[in-house]
Amino acid sequence: MRIRCLFLGLVALIDAVAAQAAGKLLIVADEWPQMEVLGAYLAEKGGHDVEKVEQTALPKSLSAYEGVFQFVHGRLDDATAEALMAFTVSLPFDRRLALVDIAGSRAHVRGLARVGLLDDDERVASRQLTHSLYGAAGMLGLPGFIWKLLALALIWAYLQHFIAGIRHLYMDVNHAVSKEFGRSSALATLVLSLGLTVVLGAKLFGLY
């Protein structure tokens, strides 16, 4: 049953690709009888221009293709894996559509609650969850350097707290409780934490 469902899903996927406006398709394979049949089907069904290559002859750029079929036994070589990963990357689109996806989830929850499939507690919990997701999704649109600045602030806070803890431990062990030592050690703690933060920040921003 599972194999039959997988087969029907593959057929549906192929039909969906074939139904699209005719475009250039690429088949990357190391076994050709099945792929020859697939290529002929796509060309006949959708009028696609189908190119078939082995992974050793993979084009440097896949941007000219509407779709790529991969049928390779064993492991992909590094160049093929990187090219296919770049071709199928979805994170930029996921970031842009995050709020839309969450809005759809909220509408789904409201529909389930309206027909009585969710009780009041489940409805409230679902609303709170999607509200939190809205805030998280909104932050996904922040530029990368903002995230780095936030990380840098957390690094400084940790270093300041860590060094201050060592300072207090030293004062407790040596009974160094004079006002002068307190001021000088506090200043040294601040300078040291800021200096280490600058060093780590330079690494974080790729300066070395």
Q: What pLDDT shows up at residue 19?
A: 44
Each residue's pLDDT tens digit, 79-109: 888 887 777 777 666 666 666 777 777 778 8
Contact (Cβ atoms closer than 8 angstroms) between residue 137 and residue 102: yes
Q: What pLDDT shows up at residue 162?
A: 93
Q: What pLDDT shows up at residue 18?
A: 47
Q: One-letter amino acid identity for 60? A: K
The domain ranges of the chain are 2-89, 92-140, 144-204
Contact (Cβ atoms closer than 8 angstroms) between residue 80 and residue 39: no
pTM (2 decimals)?
A: 0.38
Q: What pLDDT shows up at residue 21?
A: 47
For residue 108, CA distances in Å to 105, 115, 119 come to 5, 11, 14
pLDDT < 70 positions in the chain: 1-22, 91-99, 133-144, 176
The Cα–Cα gap between 189 and 79 comes to 49
Q: One-letter amino acid identity for 182? A: G
What's the CATH number of domain 2-89, 3.40.50, 1.10.1240, 3.30.70, 3.40.1010? 3.40.1010
The Cα–Cα gap between 23 and 50 comes to 8
